[in-house]
Chains A and B, each alone.
Chain A
């Protein structure tokens, strides 16, 4: 069994540990939580990538790789995520558990200091980041932002989110934007980095076989400078309850074979903080969140209107986003059918099998979270960003009690806000 602890190492710096022997690796993440804002998002997103280029002790990729290889192929990846209107940036690291080393070495004693160096002791040039690294990673980031267009399914969802929340912080992409990224300089980035070190909320996560005390001790040493300074505040999220009146429609043309239709709904103010949250979760699962959902069974299977149709819930911002892949000329039928499925839930037309199936699949997914180090980390970061402390098993238990009437009421609250359609070029 695993045991979860959470402790404050310094004001605004928290450590969560999941103590368990069931994995062959230890999983560690250190994440800065900051408000997602247009002005700072691009620089924030760039920082972990620049940090990953070199430390004072290992100033280039070769020497960093050598350190990681001697930790049995450990990985330390820069990660930028978005939870509601919080930008979460930092490192996610995986290392071999001590039990599986060939000569009984302890990996964690090498790994945690390395992560600490990567975060806090970058190789410097004239008192700030090395300019070649800033330039290199800036170019890579511009490419990364541009190539978001390559994955059309994700691109459509991203466009939907930014159109829907234009003028709201949620409308800012997790990576920021191309123009602001291209304008970053070594000096401006260094200033932003210092600001992060001083003011960002910090969430540290460890999952593995080491005793929490041992982990804490190693982290206190490796992150000492971070614990000694700082006035850290917790980022908030603005919720807009109602959809645009009338809903917005946007069509974009591109040279693609398959169309992408995406619909965004506001949840009438229901979020992870509402008492009705379990009902909203189940409502989304019935609508488009599982293979038993109305979108999957009706729009895809019964009517063959699309290859995929699903919905996802942004629990902090209060959004339900539907995404589907369709033939260009099916757009009107598909959109109407998607809305008709939501109306069916509102009218209480949900069969027992649909409701129970959705409930079982959600509960099963929450319980299975405990079996995956990466999913568990993602789950706990989501809780941390929302300022919540609900264990997956607790959420599973709450879902057991949700009634059809509560699901129906949650569906009643959804308001269509924006429709986005990615279509082909006209011949």
Chain B
């Protein structure tokens, strides 16, 4: 295995590509009690249209998430149960662009790893179990529909984008998932759960060679080449809609401001762009910025205000939001501040401070295995390495940030999504 060192952040990482095509990363942590394994495919809620072996597939919204639920079924029963019996706490999630399965355990790590790799790679669906799952996921969709933080963000993405599939809800709708059959699931599994389209990241008190050996033993590379997903028509530069609102049972307005960014390049440059976007948010409206203090003083935002940049295949955006009495005033103030920065530039002293602060927070974030492993998996699917970030901090200049704010944060590219209160009780 190849060993990579990241001395500035005190990490070492082992990397190996197996014959079956799977890339394995291991972060040895001998001083920890638990070990953590994250096994993911580069396939998420937005990969609805794809081509596999010359055949085009169009699948219902919510299928990646549905598949995630059904993967836990095995001919012997339920993998969740098997892992729990081995003392592991397992779970899984589906995002716009990846599906990840993971567990942590303090004992029997190797046995649990075998179970994880096996149930994710071997599909087992019956029409009966698929029908039953429609009910369970229907309930989950109901729960999501009641969650204002989820709704405000999914409405925002639908407003920002015209055709990029990131605008489609990861869970789909009760209607869309009703079209899913066992055959749909088998086709999607064949298309995307090929070792060459997946990654295994492990952190903990483990031997990297053993991890790689187990993965080589359990996984086979059958099924040809992975599918290629389609991200729709090229996007216009501007936001599709500038304002969207919905009424829900909330106490006060919940909002997200979104700024549509340029299509990110693939590889380390794309990841660097994401950091640049985060730094732009910090300088424009982050907790150290003059605008944040002003909005806070005016009672327009509170400590729940969050912000950041997100990139995915074919899309990058900034989002900032939380709760506010007057979301439109916040949005207006952000656009005015971006204009001011365009005229006057950024304060050099503030820039140096903020950069130091963000750097420290990123290093601290490496404390958790989840951040390390999920972060590396996402970075890998994007063609880079998570732990290269100290280098990007050196490369990014104040001018880069000014330029990004000037180019992205404009009225045309900005959308505001609001969840407003409706009568709360009967």
Contacts and interface: CB of A to CB of B under 8 A. Distances in A.
A397 interface: no
Nearest to A143: B252
A68 B424 contact: no
Contact of A73 (B80, B107, B293, B361): B361
Nearest to B286: A65
B233 interface: no
Interface in B357-374: 357-361, 363-364, 366-369
A4 interface: no
B343 interface: no
B353 A69 contact: yes
B425 A254 contact: yes
B186 interface: no
B88 A364 contact: yes
A94 B136 CA distance: 39
Contacts of B106: 363-364, 367-368
B367 to A, nearest CB: 5
A304 interface: yes
Contacts of B93: none
Interface stretch (A8-16, A81-89, A95-103, A402-410): A95-103
B367 A258 contact: no
Given A147-B323, A255-B422, A360 B86 contact: yes
Contacts of B86: 360
A60 B293 contact: yes
Contact of A22 (B31, B136, B140, B145): B31
A302 B303 CA distance: 42
A152 interface: yes
A139 B299 CA distance: 8
Contacts of A364: 34, 87-89, 104-107
A65 B287 contact: yes
Interface in A369-426: 370-373, 425-426
A140 B303 contact: yes
Nearest to A293: B84
Interface string B266-302: 0000000000000000000001101011001101001
Contact of A25 (B90, B287, B364): B364
Contact of A149 (B9, B104, B250): B250
A379 to B, nearest CB: 13
B397 interface: no
A71 B369 CA distance: 24
Given A24-B367, A65-B288, A147-B250, A307 B142 contact: yes
B426 interface: yes
A360 B85 contact: yes
B323 A327 contact: no
B135 interface: yes
A252 B425 contact: yes
Contacts of A70: 353, 356-357
A247 interface: no
Interface string A120-163: 00000000000010001001100110111111110000000000
A23 B32 CA distance: 10
A348 interface: no
B367 A360 contact: no
A182 interface: no
Contacts of B145: 257-258
A255 B85 contact: no
B302 A140 contact: yes
Interface in A248-276: 252-258
Nearest to B141: A257
Interface residues of A, number: 80
A25 B367 contact: yes
B143 A307 contact: yes
B279 to A, nearest CB: 12
A150 B78 contact: no
Contacts of B81: 291-292, 297, 357
A99 B10 contact: yes
Contacts of A61: 287, 292-293, 296-297
B127 interface: no
Contacts of A306: 139
Given A65-B287, A66-B288, A94-B364, A327 B88 contact: no
A112 to B, nearest CB: 16
B89 A291 contact: yes
Given A25-B367, A62-B293, A364-B105, A255 B353 contact: no
B254 interface: yes
A143 B104 contact: no
Contacts of B367: 23-25, 372-373
Nearest to B368: A372
Interface in A27-69: 49, 60-62, 65-66, 68-69
Contacts of B139: 258, 306-307, 325-327
A427 to B, nearest CB: 11
A361 B87 contact: yes
B146 A258 contact: yes
A72 B357 contact: yes
A341 interface: no
A149 B360 contact: no
Contacts of A361: 84, 87, 89
Given A304-B135, A364-B107, A69 B288 contact: yes
A300 B32 CA distance: 33
A104 interface: no
15 contacts: A21-B31, A68-B357, A95-B360, A140-B299, A143-B302, A146-B251, A149-B251, A151-B147, A257-B142, A257-B145, A307-B136, A325-B139, A327-B139, A364-B107, A371-B369
Interface of A: 1, 20-25, 49, 60-62, 65-66, 68-75, 77-78, 94-96, 99-102, 132, 136, 139-140, 143-144, 146-153, 252-258, 290-292, 297, 300-301, 304, 306-308, 325-327, 353, 356-357, 360-361, 363-365, 367-368, 370-373, 425-426
Closest 10 CB pairs of A and B: A72-B360, A73-B357, A360-B87, A307-B139, A146-B251, A69-B357, A73-B360, A73-B361, A258-B142, A69-B353
Interface of B: 8-10, 29, 31-34, 78, 80-81, 84-90, 104-107, 132, 135-136, 139-140, 142-143, 145-149, 248-252, 254, 287-288, 290, 292-293, 296-297, 299, 302-303, 323, 353-354, 356-361, 363-364, 366-369, 422-426
Given A75-B361, A102-B356, A257-B142, 12 more contacts: A21-B31, A23-B367, A73-B356, A140-B302, A150-B250, A253-B426, A292-B84, A364-B89, A365-B89, A368-B33, A371-B369, A373-B367
